[in-house]
């Protein structure tokens, strides 16, 4: 008789999460392999068995996703946490953080807070503006697109 754990059909099913991690870390034919296994990121020996992974991570909060604390670190108990999808998206190699007045946030968050469209920020940077000014200076009301 086939053994089942009932975890593959939930919205963020842990079996699916586990299987995706295994594929990203071990299968060179997986589209994400270059960013995981290809960079040397592995899954700890204990988690190579789904039952151990399940035992360590069973308390998945609703609407949360698994995130590696250190993006260059391996999938192992001390390097993972449950976060919102927004937090997970900020914890990527492509997310650029900047500090303003001692507070560090992703550029897109600063743009929202200062009311500067991200496209305006990018144009300003192409025009040589420094990071802080490009993200914090309100767009000129006369020029809604503010191409700088």
The two three-digit tokens of residue 112, written as one number: 């929202």
Virtual CA dihedral for 123, 140, 104, 91, nearest 10 degrees?
Answer: -50
User: For the chain, which residues make up each domain, given as ranges?
Assistant: 14-90, 97-136
What is the structure's pLDDT at 11? 41
Q: Is 44 left (phi over 0), alpha (psi -120 to 50) or beta?
A: beta
> Would you write out the chain's pLDDT as a tens digit for each of its 148 residues?
445 545 445 444 789 889 999 999 999 999 999 999 999 999 999 999 999 999 998 777 888 888 899 988 999 999 999 988 877 777 776 777 788 888 888 888 888 899 999 899 889 999 999 888 898 888 875 544 444 4
What is the structure's pLDDT at 93? 67
What is the structure's pLDDT at 147? 45
What is the structure's pLDDT at 86? 76
The two three-digit tokens of residue 33, written as one number: 């392999």
The three-class DSSP label of residue 139 is coil
Which long-range contacts (C-beta less than 8 Å, at least 24 apart) are formed by 60-64?
60/12, 60/14, 64/12
Q: How far apart are CA 46 and CA 69, in angstroms?
A: 18
Pick from 52, 63, 65: nearest CA to 17:
65
pLDDT tens, residue by residue, 44-81: 999 999 999 999 987 778 888 888 999 889 999 999 99
What is the structure's pLDDT at 146? 43
What is the structure's pLDDT at 141? 54
What is the structure's pLDDT at 108? 81
The two three-digit tokens of residue 92, written as one number: 């990527």
The three-class DSSP label of residue 124 is helix
């Amino acid at each position: 008789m086939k053994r089942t754990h009932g975890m593959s059909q939930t919205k963020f099913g842990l079996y699916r999460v586990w299987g995706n991690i295994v594929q990203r870390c071990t299968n060179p034919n997986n589209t994400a392999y270059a960013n995981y296994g290809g960079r040397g990121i592995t899954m700890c020996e204990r988690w190579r068995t789904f039952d151990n992974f399940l035992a360590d991570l069973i308390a998945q909060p609703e609407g949360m996703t698994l995130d590696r604390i250190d993006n260059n670190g391996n999938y192992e108990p001390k390097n993972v946490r449950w976060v919102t999808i927004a937090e997970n998206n900020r914890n990527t190699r492509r997310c650029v953080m900047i500090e303003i007045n001692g507070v560090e946030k992703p550029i897109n968050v600063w743009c929202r807070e200062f009311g500067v469209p991200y496209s305006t920020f990018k144009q300003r940077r192409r025009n040589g503006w420094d990071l802080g000014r490009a993200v914090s200076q309100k767009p000129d009301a006369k020029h809604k697109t503010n191409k700088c």
